[in-house]
Amino acid sequence: MSLKLTIPGCIRSKKNSKRIFGNGKFKKVLPSKAYLEWEAMARDHAQRNDFKYVPIVSEFYHVCATIYYKGPEPDLSGCLESIGDCFEGYLWANDRQIKSWDGSRLIHDKDNPRVELEVEPIAQLVRSENIE
Q: What is the pLDDT of residue 52?
A: 52
Q: pLDDT tens across 53-96, in order?
A: 555 666 899 999 999 999 999 999 999 999 999 998 888 888 99
How much is the pTM? Answer: 0.80
From residue 14, how far is each of 38, 39, 50, 64, 127 by CA, in Å?
10, 9, 23, 19, 31
pLDDT digits (tens, 9 = 90+) for 20-40: 677 677 777 778 888 899 999
In this prediction, residue 33 carries a pLDDT of 86
The torsion defined by the Cα of 69, 73, 74 and 77, in degrees rounded to 10, comes to 100
Domains of the chain listed by start with CATH number: 3-122 (3.30.1330.70)
